[in-house]
Each structure stands twice: as structure tokens, then as C-alpha cells.
Chains A and B, each alone.
Chain A
């Protein structure tokens, strides 16, 4: 087993000492999409002692083009990304601890998830979740590495709470009109260059080397690269990272919540509290009316009124084929909650 990390140990800035440090660290990866998969695989192979990966989604055929931990079988069975990622990472490296959590990263579970975490890697595909990460990381003083990619572009920034500017310092409002991978497309190399940079920064930090204060971007198709030192942009009035921080994105909402998943013709509905839905019973109840009701380890999927429903055990439901919140709520009440 000593052979396993020999090449990485040969790399002078890490060495045997750095490798021993990595074995003691715990990395949280939020999102097991393209960036999450790529980071997770590199970190598992690098010998990070413990990796926790959380994701709210399940695997679809359109993911296989770049989400490297998943197979055709996973897509065919709509497997939860967190579960499939956990299994694959364990198969890659059985000497480390891996835990997959099939939930949404939200203000309710953020504090618990950030406990005993050395660093957080952004593997999300949306700014809503990133701003929750940003607030939580700032509040609980956990460093994190933002990464984003679309088309042939990638971007990254390392954020060290109390030292360097946070995402809120650089972007004063939630970008709503951005391009997503669904609307503008993406190529695998844009994912890989972004994840490679994030993982490198992560390995630097975990082995005692300073992270960069540069906002970096890559264009793997146009062969572009740019880096701007943003250290000076730390905002002394920042709502997320200053002494007077309010952590606006950690405010917990009451009651039912909905989110339109950008570019996917999908609405997510979440009940007020986390419920423990008996998926098998729900499947039996809707079976006579619904097309193809199937239950797997964490979710139930079925077809109804030409919409596709995916219900997770905690009650969270994705309804595909709707783009408005009111209709989605109605469908949720009619079929899931009843």
C-alpha cells in the first residue's frame, strides 16, 4: 500500500509529510455533478482521509457526457448521485472514508455538515447554493474553493474566511440571468481544467501551502487564461464576511419551498419540515394511475399527467415538465402529499 501514493510523495512540495497530512483531513464536496465528480475522484486517489459528498439530484443520461463517476446502469435506474458517487469512490480507494448524502445543502444542515471539515469544495451548478455555502463557510470559518464552468470556460477562486474576499464581496447580488450548462452547453475539458485547479488549491491548503488570492479563468477552446489578484476587493461592509455580517443566505424559511431549476423545465418542491415519506407505500397508492412507478435506495419516480415526478425520502420532490411554481405545488399536493 505504501506504493499507492509514491508518485505524489515524490512531488517535493507534498512529500511524505504532506501525504501524512492528507490522510488526516476531511473534505466536504457540495454537489456531485461534473465538478463534484472530477474533484472527488482526484481527491480520493490523492488519499484524503475522509470525503463527504452531498448532492440533491439523481443521475440522468445527459449527465454521462462529463460526470465521470457514473455509468449507464446508474442513469437507467435514476440512482441518487450521492449514493453512486460514494460507491465508486470507495471502489477507487478503500483505504479512505467516504460518505455520500442524498440531500440538498441548505441553511438547516449547513452547520452540522461544516463541523470538523478542513475545506469545502464547490461542485454545485447554481449561485443559490453557492451563496449559502459562502455564508456558512464565513460563519463557521471553513475555507472553500469556488468553481464554475460553462461552454468552454472555467473559473475558480479560493476563499479563506477572515483573510480573503468572499463571493459576496465580489458579486453584490445573486446573478439570475447567467448561462447554465443546460442552456449554453459545456464540454468535458472545461470541467476538468476547473476541477484540476480546485483540487490543486485544495492539496496546497491541506499540505500547508498558501492558496491563491487570484480569481482565475480558463477558456480551453479559445486557449485563453486570465488571473486577477482580488485581495484588495475584500469589502469591510460585506453582509457575509465582515465583522457586522448578517449571513443573509442562512436565514431559514418556514413552510413549503419551491425552486425553479434553471434551464431544466423542472420545479423542486420541499415540504416545510423534513418528512419521512414511505416511498413503497406511496408507490402502491399511485400505481393504479401512474406510469412506471419505481423505487430505488433513496427515491421514487413515476409519470403522471405527462409530468415526471421524483420523490426523495425526506419529501423533497422534483417535478419535470413544469416551469411554474403554482402548478408544481398543485401537483405536489395532489399526488405526493395526499
Chain B
């Protein structure tokens, strides 16, 4: 499956099928990120139910604390 992640085209491995899997595969902490799936923000509680499809556009912004 191929998706657009933060504007870049990405080929996903077969075991990545949901937003939750995607965050895990990039080692991103779910509590402190905002995810947009085809222009709609995904509520934090819905990451596991939200399945990905070919051509989906995903934006992930992850809070960082340094400075």
C-alpha cells in the first residue's frame, strides 16, 4: 500500500494497516501527536479503528519538548 505521509510518497509494509500501526512503525508517541487522515483530524481514541487505504493522505505532527 502506498500513502502520502507529510507530503511524501511512502510504501507501507503489509503489517501496517491502521493509523496506530503507522505511529508505532515510526516510534511516535501517540499521546503527544496530532494526526490528520485525508484532511480530517483523527481523535486520539480512534487510531486503532482508523484503517489506511491506498492513496491516503496522512499528516502527522509530533510535539517535541526541547528548545
Contact = CB atoms under 8 A, between A and B. Distances in A.
Contacts of B61: 155, 215-217, 226-228
Interface in A179-238: 179-181, 184, 186, 191, 194, 215-217, 224-228, 230, 232-233
A150 interface: yes
A248 interface: no
A175 B29 contact: yes
Contacts of B41: 228, 230, 232-233
A11 B36 CA distance: 34
A35 interface: yes
A253 interface: no
A130 B64 CA distance: 12
A226 B7 contact: yes
Interface string A147-165: 1111001110000000000
B29 A125 contact: no
Nearest to B32: A175
A150 B64 contact: yes
A291 interface: no
B62 A217 contact: yes
B13 interface: no
A69 to B, nearest CB: 14
Interface of B: 6-8, 29, 31-32, 34, 36, 41, 59-67
Interface of A: 31, 33-36, 122-127, 130, 147-150, 153-155, 170-173, 175, 177-181, 184, 186, 191, 194, 215-217, 224-228, 230, 232-233
